[in-house]
Amino acid sequence: MREYKEVKREITELELSAITCNSCGTRHVITDHFDQELNFFHDFSVEGGYGSTFPADMDIVSFTLCCDCINDITSKFKVSATSTNTDGLELIKIKLD
Ligand SMILES: [Zn+2]
């Protein structure tokens, strides 16, 4: 049997304080937990598979883009991006311009 006692410890947590678009450099300082500006930034992570040229095999590249940069990038696609409704029921192919 193990017995436990209460121990008070000070815990330091990481809290998001700012977010920056890796493409254009737009930086936003977080004001509070309900900061709606966070919705204008999106995080991406890409893992290279075997034989991948970029990222290399098993490497993971992570970055953040703002909505403007996502729009700029996807508007140059030769094949339209696919958008999924948040309820997951509809798939709508859209051309983001
Ligand atoms: Zn940007």
Q: What is the pLDDT of residues 64-79, one digit of tens each?
A: 999 999 999 999 999 8
Output the DSSP codes for 45-96: EEE--TT-SSS-TT-EEEEEEEHHHHHHHHTT-SS--EEE-TTSS-EEE---
Distance 66 CA to ligand 1 centre (A): 4
The pLDDT value recorded for residue 31 is 86
Distance 18 CA to ligand 1 centre (A): 14
The pLDDT value recorded for residue 35 is 87
Distance 8 CA to ligand 1 centre (A): 43
Distance 29 CA to ligand 1 centre (A): 15
